[in-house]
Amino acid sequence: MPEKLREIYGRLFSAYGPQGWWPGETPFEVAVGAILTQATNWRNAARAIANLKAARALSPEAMGRLPHTRLTELVRPAGFFNQKAKRLRAFLELIRKYGGLDKLFALPVEELREALLSVPGIGPETADSIVLYAVGKPVFVVDAYTRRILVRLGLIEGGETYEELRDLFESNLPRDPELYKEYHALFVRHGKEHCRVRPHCKGCPISELCDFEKDK
């Protein structure tokens, strides 16, 4: 399995190159982006972030001073804006509870994950995206593309839990945050390009490893 995971990574990296994830100038901005991009095109999330930036609201303190309706309005282009405004405020509440972003992000990884997961609206993928891309700790981020790609490669059944898949990567790859960052980003890139629900297998860089026969 370690060899296969390296093989897949190598091919994806050769095909697509470095993805430059995560766009964002500060850890807080990255974390905010992780919430805003839930089930949403990054393009739309980026618009919401641009709004927040223009409003100088990209710090926990400044965002906390915004009226709720104002926050909702700024976040609108990201979609699900009522939920996401509420989720951002819940995240701010966690930050306050730990005495600041630095204190929160300085927690041991497992405690940090648990703390993030305790926030209503932050689930496993969002929590791990924050831990990996905002904090830089080596947790592997699993998403729908990851699962789908592994299924089509015949490496998993599909019914595995989030934690099982995360463990699959973390116990078969070196605990290297830079590797995890790039790998996840490459899965997303490859997913969009070739491995959607409706597959687009022509020119697929990992077709030789893949069982999936349709649409050739």
Rule CB under 7 A: which residues touch DNA?
Answer: 21-23, 33-34, 37-44, 47, 76-77, 79-84, 120-127, 129, 133, 143-145, 159, 188, 192, 196-198
Least spacing, CB of residue 160 vs DNA, in Å: 10
Least spacing, CB of residue 12 vs DNA, in Å: 15
CA distance 126 to 31: 8
Of 2 and 68, the one with the shorter C-beta distance to DNA is: 68
Cα within 13 Å of Cα(54), Cβ side: 11
Least spacing, CB of residue 3 vs DNA, in Å: 27
Of 61 and 163, the one with the shorter C-beta distance to DNA is: 163
Of 34 and 135, the one with the shorter C-beta distance to DNA is: 34
Of 144 and 209, the one with the shorter C-beta distance to DNA is: 144
- Helices first, then strands: H and E counts in the chain: 12, 0
Least spacing, CB of residue 24 vs DNA, in Å: 8
| Residue at 116: amino acid letter | L
Phi-psi region of 14 (alpha: psi -120 to 50; beta: other; left: phi over 0): alpha
Please provide the distance, in angstroms rounded to a whole number, between the alpha carbons at the two ends of the chain: 27
CA distance 27 to 95: 13
Of 11 and 87, the one with the shorter C-beta distance to DNA is: 87
**3-state class (DSSP) for residue 154:** coil
CA distance 193 to 211: 18
CA distance 156 to 192: 20
Least spacing, CB of residue 144 vs DNA, in Å: 5
Which pair of structure tokens corresponds to residue 115? Answer: 């703390």
Least spacing, CB of residue 2 vs DNA, in Å: 25
Of 2 and 76, the one with the shorter C-beta distance to DNA is: 76
